[in-house]
Structure 1
């Protein structure tokens, strides 16, 4: 097989991440267009159509890291992309909602495999000096995907129907499966191993969350995902009017830009965990500022974009923390699995939780929600850092 530059491998893996993020995004941007196909479906059922793809990651995230390592990264990643292509093509037929939900759950397995395997491979093929940049690029996959879907995907769904969007996604996933089958070296990530017994899986599961190194990125990432996805989904329509359109487009873009510029610059000078905590501190400040300027459109716009930028620091540095805290590929796979698991916990619970808070408390609830989880993220990282210091001193 012809040698492929690590740069092209990283870009191909990142492109696979875009396809995985679109498994959420294609539903988020089209569920209102699909609602007439399922008359009688309430908001809870329609909300499940969007979020249920995260359920496998919520249940199996950490276990997936163990099994991906055992089954072989290249095989799992290519198979997951191919499976995602088939499932998206089936969803383009817009079957009854019960069938669609089953397909979405199965699609969640494809999503989980991609988000566990790809960042481990990116860290492995990237020189240490470039890992901060590469992991920040990887972390942008959700924001980039939502931006591209807002620009291209939504108009396609409106013009040709949501089925066309799902078919386009199926084609994209199929192409990426073929590309990565060609560019990924055989045996990358080490040779496939025998699948562990369930008793060993449970013991490894306990070890992962007991480790102040393996689990640390996941704890902070949970506080990020429960905030970012919920705010990105609910803040623009809550504000309404011209602000809704501007924030829906610019919030994900700002988070990407900050992650790939200021975030990369900081990662070259500070440990990734410190950048995560700095991002959370900045997010809390932006949220507090919103409390004082609510109702003043230009200030609300600026502080909302500042909040998105702060969370952009957190997203990039959280992934950069995986290789910084864990040298062995196996530990990195398990850390990525934990990130997927707790990240899916955040994406699954954050939006309905914030929706309830907004309905009851309005903007005060939004501010408290962001500040509360930002401070929790700082405290969790301080605690894990203290634990790592205790291990070094013994």
Structure 2
């Protein structure tokens, strides 16, 4: 019993820091930008990447999606590895592995080798997106924690914007190999900085984090059966089922003269709301309550389609309300889970469900759009958001019973 109490104390105390918390939080956020860059460096200049492998045909799409496949399969395993070996070790390993893969990709290997490198890069990505937010929650003092987690929630959108504004022109001038070299060099510097500046990991309880298949299955069932560990991931599944897919599907529905502007504004609106609105809301509302409000307002915004609201207004308003879900979902992890081990598992589950949503969302919604049209597409999205609300309320009811 004393041993359990000590383990719990280890999980909630903040490690001894070499720098003030804020610079370390920003360093970890930069690591998140590096992880998101593993998607953006292929997705944003995709036409240039396709020119490298003209004979690959439909297989070219796997260069982007194979990372999500590994997130689906091993998200929770990454959480267990973080709890077993320590956040800093796993984060440095993820950054170093990602750097090696980017530098290798700059040599423009054959398609099969390129695809293999992307599979390995999927493991690197997973290590970063599980370890970094777990460390942020440990390092951030209580008054700074909500801001820190909402800042982390912006890493994907910010990285895509930076690659679109800076990386794409660079790739058009120097080729995608030049973009891969820049990404690899940035990951090397981040790995060194994390290793030198972050505090050493504490010893984990190996027996509690066994990687034997039977124990892995038990930990999956236990984590997803917990209304605290599973809640952020449960809501995140319904968010990711629509976010990336709507970025791809909505632009053709916009007036051509406004299309480029609105597409650029949509994700930036989510980022702005996550940073400027979610943090003050969390002083008065629980994180899951803010996520529920975000889902509800998003469904309400989409209902404006049948009231004749202009499509550009709907798109920007929708992504603004989704910013509530974005920021609150990450903030819910430390709010609901006090131990570092549970936070690592919650981040692993969130990565797993996020990758599942990103993989399934676009083909699902495209199928609805092709079969029944725009109205059915938006109705399906509303149903997804209502399902997210229902699951969050059920998990809240279960936590109240505990």
Please tell me the TM-score bracket, short chain as reference.
Answer: over 0.9
User: Structure 1: how far apart are the matches of 2:26 and 2:324?
Assistant: 20
Q: Is residue 2:184 matched to residue 1:151?
A: no
Partner of 2:11: none
C-alpha displacement of 1:97: 2.6
Partner of 2:354: 343
* Contact 1:273/1:317 (<8 A) preserved: yes
- Secondary structure of the residue aligned to 1:161 is helix
C-alpha displacement of 1:63: 1.6
Partner of 1:115: 129
When residues 375 and 48 of structure 1 are mapped into structure 2, their CA distance, relative to the original with a 3 A threshold, is: same
User: Structure 2: how far apart are the matches of 1:272 and 1:222?
Assistant: 16
Q: Which runs of 4+ in 1 moved over 6 A?
A: none
Partner of 1:357: 368
C-alpha displacement of 1:100: 1.8
Partner of 1:205: 220
When residues 386 and 361 of structure 1 are mapped into structure 2, their CA distance, relative to the original with a 3 A threshold, is: same
- Secondary structure of the residue aligned to 1:186 is coil
Q: Is residue 2:164 matched to residue 1:161?
A: no
* Contact 1:68/1:76 (<8 A) preserved: yes
Q: Is residue 2:184 matched to residue 1:170?
A: yes
* Contact 1:150/1:249 (<8 A) preserved: no
Note the aligned Cα RMSD (angstroms). 1.7
Instruction: Count residues with an aligned counterpart.
Output: 384
Partner of 1:214: 229
C-alpha displacement of 1:315: 0.9
User: Structure 2: how far apart are the matches of 1:365 and 1:134?
Assistant: 38
User: What is the aligned counterpart of 1:387 among 370, 395, 398?
Assistant: 398
Q: Is residue 2:96 matched to residue 1:85?
A: no
* Contact 1:71/1:193 (<8 A) preserved: no
User: Structure 1: how far apart are the matches of 2:232 and 2:267?
Assistant: 21
* Contact 2:18/2:198 (<8 A) preserved: no
* Contact 1:283/1:370 (<8 A) preserved: no
Partner of 1:373: 384
User: Structure 1: how far apart are the matches of 2:17 and 2:231?
Assistant: 38
* Contact 1:6/1:126 (<8 A) preserved: yes
Partner of 1:316: 327
* Contact 2:108/2:177 (<8 A) preserved: yes
Q: Is residue 2:146 matched to residue 1:132?
A: yes
Partner of 2:9: none
When residues 47 and 240 of structure 1 are mapped into structure 2, their CA distance, relative to the original with a 3 A threshold, is: farther
C-alpha displacement of 1:271: 0.2
Which ranges in structure 2 are unaligned for 5 or more consecutive residues? 1-15
Partner of 1:191: 203
C-alpha displacement of 1:193: 4.3
C-alpha displacement of 1:46: 2.6
Q: Is residue 2:50 matched to residue 1:50?
A: no
When residues 345 and 152 of structure 1 are mapped into structure 2, their CA distance, relative to the original with a 3 A threshold, is: same
Which ranges in structure 1 are unaligned for 5 or more consecutive residues? none
Matches within 5 A, 1:213-362: 213-239=228-254, 241-293=256-308, 299-362=310-373
